[in-house]
């Protein structure tokens, strides 16, 4: 895709969602790490409901490892995969205490070695907590990138990330990540995208395919009225 086409996409999404931001509530890097870990296969809204009480009870890594795992499981029970996530949180907190003085490491390479922290989580943490440009590819970013031909249909998550990093100016990586999420979450939805009012329909492969039946029905209706 040409640079001018990428610029058109970025500017259009930027006009739609100029104030896009991380919607996971947090007050520091540690809380953000826990929130992103909890958000896997779960909505941000649900995570925020759980962390509202969770972050009042647990302030530091030591707090998380000082309770039985069953108690932590009960505290995050509304979260999908809560048993595995409770184990990951306690293991992660133990490592933070033993190796990093209770602080979240600022290095992407170190973050991905922590239990429950994958590449996406690490990208979210370094970009939002430490100001390091990064593009975290979640389901929304992946879907939008592929529909708008910023990536190939069969590209892996890592391939999507690399193509976005190549196409988007580095100083816009983090903001683009947020805007793509907002665009996918509130406009270009998985099941009911707003194709009929989308300003990017001209470059969207999925939108063109979805709108063909509607165009055909409109044409057939017009033919029937004039015959």
Active site residues: 120, 138
**Contact yes or no for 195/207 (Cβ under 8 A):** yes
Neighbours of 102 (CB within 10 A): 13
Burial class (CB within 10 angstroms; exposed 0-12, middle 13-18, buried 19+) of 26:
buried
Closest CA to 211 of 194, 187, 223: 194
Closest CA to 148 of 199, 206, 210, 189: 206
Report d(CA 220, CA 218) in Å as an integer: 6
């Amino acid at each position: 895709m040409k640079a001018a086409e990428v610029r058109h996409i970025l500017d259009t999404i930027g006009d739609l969602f100029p104030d896009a931001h991380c919607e996971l509530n947090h007050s520091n890097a540690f809380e953000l790490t826990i929130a992103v870990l909890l958000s896997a296969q779960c909505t941000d809204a649900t995570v925020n409901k759980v962390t509202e009480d969770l972050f009042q009870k647990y302030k530091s890594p030591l707090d998380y490892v000082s309770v039985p795992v069953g108690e932590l499981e009960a505290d995050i029970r509304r979260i999908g995969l809560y048993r595995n996530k409770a184990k990951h949180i306690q293991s992660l907190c133990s490592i933070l205490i033993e190796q990093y003085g209770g602080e979240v490491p600022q290095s992407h390479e170190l973050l991905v070695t922590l239990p429950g922290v994958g590449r996406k989580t690490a990208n979210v943490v370094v970009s939002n907590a430490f100001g390091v440009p990064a593009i975290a590819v979640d389901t929304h970013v992946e879907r939008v990138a592929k529909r708008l031909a910023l990536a190939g249909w069969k590209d892996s998550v890592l391939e999507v990330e690399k193509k976005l990093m190549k196409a988007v100016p580095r100083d816009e990586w983090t903001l683009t990540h947020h805007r793509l999420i907002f665009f996918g979450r509130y406009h270009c939805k998985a099941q009911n995208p707003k194709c009929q009012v989308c300003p990017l329909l001209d470059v969207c492969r999925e939108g063109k395919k979805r709108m063909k039946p509607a165009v055909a029905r409109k044409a057939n209706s017009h033919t029937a009225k004039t015959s």
